[in-house]
Amino acid sequence: MNPALFDAMRPGEKARAIVRVLNGMIQRELEVQEARRRKLTVSEEEVDRALAELETVYASKGGLKQALADFQITLEQWKKETRENFLIEKLEASQYRRIPISEEEIREEFGNFWKETQSPSPKDLGEHHEHMRFVVQQRKWAAEGRRKWMQSLADAARIWRWTPAVHGETNSP
Residue type at 172?
S
Tell me: pLDDT of 165 over 70.
Answer: no
Output the pTM of the full model: 0.76
pLDDT in tens, 21-67: 888 898 999 999 999 999 999 999 999 999 999 999 998 888 888 88
Residue range 11-20: mean pLDDT, rounded: 89
Rounded CA-CA distance 93/99 in Å is 10
